Structure 1
Amino acid sequence: MNTDTTATAPASTTDALRLAVIVGSTRDGRFGPTVADWFAERARIHGDLEVDVVDLAETPLPDRLSGRPGPEAAAALEAVSPRLAAADAFVVITPEYNHSYPASLKNAIDWHFTEWQAKPVGFVSYGGLSGGLRAVEHLRPVFSELHAVTVRETVSFHTAWERFGTDGQPLEADAANGAAKTLLDQLTWFGRALRTARATHPYGS
């Protein structure tokens, strides 16, 4: 079982749903920030969401080892764990590496446990011909094991580097923005329902 690294979550000052957008790739030259910046903008436009972009390249975590984290690992976790704990919902921005998702993303997932519980997770993927969908299908059972709820709708970009303009916006904006709205609508519904459930009947009690 994973070690619980939960930190005290800061209280929200509004009733807005707190959404953590996690940028999973840490490779040099990655395309993830372009996709993440676009999606975070769509989430803010969607309304009634507090958006926190957690970029794993800017908040690197040590490799997951057994036992309690040492001082350096604890300091690295302090930059990530409270933000995940504070979130009511998550969207994971992931590429597809070798028919799956990045090791950096799996490492960040495995460092945490209760932070994911009874919260919804959505996915925005990008890649070659598959659009990163094989990475998403590998992530679903991982989050299920951590008692998270993955939503059905996804956003995916096939040959993503050809789908965005120099301004960082999708070339087929209507379709992309519509898909983002559909995902956010579903994620928001589950986020509110599960937040109410956790408040009235704490998960695992």
Structure 2
Amino acid sequence: MSLKLHIIICSTRPGRVGPAVARWFHEFARSHGKFDAKLIDLADFKLPLYDEPVHPRMQQYEHEHTKRWSESVAAADAYVFVTPEYNYSPPPSLVNALDYVYREWNYKPCGFVSYGGVAGGLRAAQMERLHVTTLKMMPMMEGVAIPGITSHIDDSGVFGSDEHIDSSAKTLLDELLRWAEALRPMRP
């Protein structure tokens, strides 16, 4: 049975380039062949600023948007967050989505495909790595950083990778596989 990998588009703002990067990574993961890869768009869940009255570790969700998000997160064995860097930080939509649920994330590995200007989203990805450890997730040291994101998007909105980006993506997927297999017995 293949491990399920959710590739999560973290930006929800209009005009975002995250979907183009995520579509490329999704296809790359499918060709890698070791995961059942699924593309997830945070924008589809329309999560408001956290609005559940009970702490997420209790899993007593009242709102349909939370229940849908919980089911999606619980269905995966591993995650790749396709994330921009906003002002040296992760997008608020990702921080909010991470905090919406708790047990659903536990004992699962995650990786980051970050993009931005000169730094390629590395500062945001580093902050996100710290955040996910509080959810009992295992963040991969390996990642994909895409500096100068606009130079990788063509006029039709398609992302184009290069040899360095592809090599980083393969390394990330190989590590995610190792950790997803190793952590599987720890999950209920």
Q: TM-score when scaled to structure 2?
A: 0.90
Answer yes or no: is 1:139 the counterpart of 2:128: yes
Letter in 2 for 1:147: K
The percent of aligned pairs where both chains have the same amino acid is: 41
Match of 2:48?
62
Residue 124 of structure 1 aligns to a residue whose secondary structure is strand
Confirm or deny: 8 A CA contact 1:22 1:91 kept in the other structure: yes
Relative to structure 1, the CA distance from residue 159 to residue 76 in structure 2 (aligned partners, 3 Å threshold; closer, same or farther) is same
Distance 1:141 1:157 in 2: 20
Residue 130 of structure 1 aligns to a residue whose secondary structure is coil
Match of 2:6?
20
User: For residues 1-34 of structure 1, what are the alpha-carbon distances to aligned partners after superposition, in whole Å with 9 as ceiling and x for unaligned?
Assistant: xxxxxxxxxxxxxx10100111110111001001
Distance 1:79 1:116 in 2: 14
Residue 13 of structure 2 aligns to a residue whose secondary structure is coil
Match of 1:198?
186
Answer yes or no: is 1:34 the counterpart of 2:20: yes
Confirm or deny: 8 A CA contact 2:152 2:161 kept in the other structure: yes
Instruction: State how many pairs are aligned.
Output: 182
Q: Which has the higher helix share?
A: 2
Confirm or deny: 8 A CA contact 2:78 2:109 kept in the other structure: yes
Where in structure 2 are there 5+ consecutive unaligned residues? 56-60
Where in structure 1 are there 5+ consecutive unaligned residues? 1-14
Q: TM-score when scaled to structure 1?
A: 0.83
Relative to structure 1, the CA distance from residue 181 to residue 171 in structure 2 (aligned partners, 3 Å threshold; closer, same or farther) is closer
Distance 2:123 2:36 in 1: 29
Structure 1 runs of 4+ with >4 Å offset: none
**Which residues in structure 2 correspond to 1:18-167 (within 5 Å)?**
18-65=4-51, 67-68=53-54, 74-165=63-154, 166=156
Relative to structure 1, the CA distance from residue 169 to residue 103 in structure 2 (aligned partners, 3 Å threshold; closer, same or farther) is closer
Letter in 2 for 1:133: L
Confirm or deny: 8 A CA contact 2:9 2:19 kept in the other structure: yes
